[in-house]
Amino acid sequence: MAVKRLKYTILFSLSVFFAAVPAIAQINGSRGLMNVRSAWNLEPGYLLMYTQARFFGQVAEQIKANGDKSNYTLFNSQSTLILNYGISEHLELALSPILYQDTNRGMSQYNFIDDIYLFVKFGSLGGHGSHVKSGIDLGVRFPTGETHNILFEPYSTGRIGFGISTRFSWAARPFYPDDGLTLHFNAGYWNYNDVGEKLTDIPGNVDLVRATKPTTDFLYGVGLNYPTLKFDFSLEFYGNIFIRQPPVTAYSRENSAFISPRIRYKPYHWLNFDLAGDIRVMSVDDETDFTSPGVEVYPGMPNYPPWRFNIGAQFTLLPRTTYTVSERDILIRKAGARKNLFEQIIRDRDETDVAQKEVERIKLERRKAERELQRLQQMILEKYKRQQKKKEDNKESDNEG
């Protein structure tokens, strides 16, 4: 036990210094929370689609580069599509295009499509039955959007960015993590690869501000989730700390942090709806140099939005049998998996050990099985009552006829 704890402590310490997750830059569409990602992978063959939108708006006065002033409502909205596919027990892929992004400058005032993310994740790492799992992934951001360096948004450039990330997750119920309280932690590093990049729309012979060294970022996130039968309640804290700041013409040069409460509604086992809000708790000072050529001035506007409103929906696209499986079938499958678990505990038990731990695990699984059996009995009883009522209604209709 002491060796295991030492191992996780070492892994955790290394991850804080050498890994990152672009939590502030991109929404999570797989297991985990809206911003903080889980160390558990999707099961092989599962394809999830997550659609998300967030919004912020405020009336602003704009001062153009030529000195002209105008009042208008400044919007910051973004729509994202995320596809996650489980390849194997420990390998998962994610493709995430930002479909729409307000830019508040230029002729169109928006990007359609904005940048695209690609992630390769190695997860679900850890001992069988362990409360703690870990994962690591590689991410790339492709600059497919027309406009970058956007007000209210995390720093972005017209160059390919990349990073390496890690996650740690703790589950109160290690064999069924989605059925109990879970804690998640992300931390690490992102490289924006922006040396020589011009950030404003003004001609290059006027705007000579360039990054001489690549901008780098430490990004972090921690969150917890408490599930019930039809709802999940979660709370996240996430943000970024620049290791090397962007040039002075960047709108998002400051460190930031947000608190994000979320409610997830689970009407079906293949469909979830999310409602969340982001509340800024850091990044009040504005460090952009608005005297630089090409930088538009927005008097009284914050560098990051003080709040954001988020909605999302998660669909299970594959396997197709997901749509034909009832909750009753899922409970029966859990019972079968629990039988295999008991058999494995018996096989793995060391005869020289006291086996107190195994006894406690069996007691816990027995209590879970009793609760799920009660749910199954209730479902069968409700179905029987509906059938009986339907027969009585039909009988009354025949008598009236």
pLDDT in tens, 254-264: 999 999 999 99
Are residue 146 and residue 234 in the same domain, yes or no?
yes
Mean confidence (pLDDT) of the chain = 84
Query: Are both 87 and 214 inside the same structural domain?
Result: yes
Q: Which of 123, 152, 81, 116 is nearest to 303 (CA)?
A: 152
Question: What pTM, to 2 d.p., does this model score?
Answer: 0.78
Same domain, 355 and 314: no
Q: Tell whether omega for the bond before 113 is within 30 degrees of 0, i.e. cis.
A: yes
Identify the domain boundary among 321, 338, 371: 321
- Same domain for 21 and 56: yes
Residue 17: what pLDDT? 34
| Domain extent at residue 272 | 2-321
Tell whether the model's pLDDT for residue 338 goes beyond 70.
no
Do 375 and 232 lie in one domain? The reply is no
Q: Is the dihedral of CA 252, 256, 262, 268 positive or negative?
A: positive
Distances (CA, A) of 50 to 54, 265, 267: 13, 14, 16
Residue 49: what pLDDT? Answer: 97
* Same domain assignment for residues 155 and 244: yes
CATH of the domain at 202: 2.40.160.40
Least confident range of 201-205, 335-339, 392-396? 335-339
Check whether residue 299 and residue 358 sit in a common domain. Answer: no
Number of domains the chain contains: 2
Same domain? 339 vs 308: no
Rounded Cα gap, residues 147 and 22, in angstroms? 20
- Express each pLDDT in 262-271 by its tens digit: 999 999 889 9
Last residue of a domain, one of 271, 305, 321: 321
